[in-house]
Amino acid sequence: MTVRAALMMLSLCLLATPSPADTAIWVNFGAVSHHVTNRQLNNINTGFGLEVPAHGFLIMGGIYRNSLGSTSKYLTAEKCMVSHGRACLGAMAGFVDGYRLNDGGFIPVVAPTLTINGDRIGARLMFTPQIDDRIAATLSLQLRLRIK
């Protein structure tokens, strides 16, 4: 599947979902990671991302220094499945590049998430499962700042 075809499918999914009441726009600053299966990797994944609500999803795009020390770009959509107070248990799916799969090109990514938001500051915990010996199982913590 090409990136263009994947983006078209993602757009169709977004159009089929009703709009949420939340209109908060967030920026994030990369993540701090714990590599469960390979402790020799980069744990400080600095970067920058923008998070915008659209049709029941939170659309996220950005760039960061990945666990291999390479630059990665991503485009994902996160969906909150269960919320309680300021906490939300959900999942994200999308595409990321810069890893050992697909010659460093874009690959699909799916991860469960736990997001906790304050009025201006939030945090997201994500788990990425291991994919053979090329992607280590990783627990990541991402800090967020609300800009709108």
- The whole-angstrom separation of Cα 44 and Cα 65 is 8
Residue 132's pLDDT is 77
Kindly report, residue by residue over 23-47, the tens digit of the pLDDT: 899 999 988 999 888 778 889 999 9
Highest average pLDDT, of 10-14, 17-21, 60-64, comes from: 60-64
Nearest in space to 64 (alpha carbons), one of 126, 12, 130: 126
| Cα–Cα distance list, 47 to 21, 50, 144 (Å) | 28, 11, 12
Domains of the chain, earliest start first:
3-146 (2.40.160.20)
Give the pLDDT confidence score for residue 130 in this predicted structure.
84
Statement: residue 118 has pLDDT above 50 = yes
Q: Which amino acid is at 8?
A: M
Closest CA to 136 of 67, 45, 46: 67
Q: Report residue 117: phi and psi, to 5°.
A: -120, 135
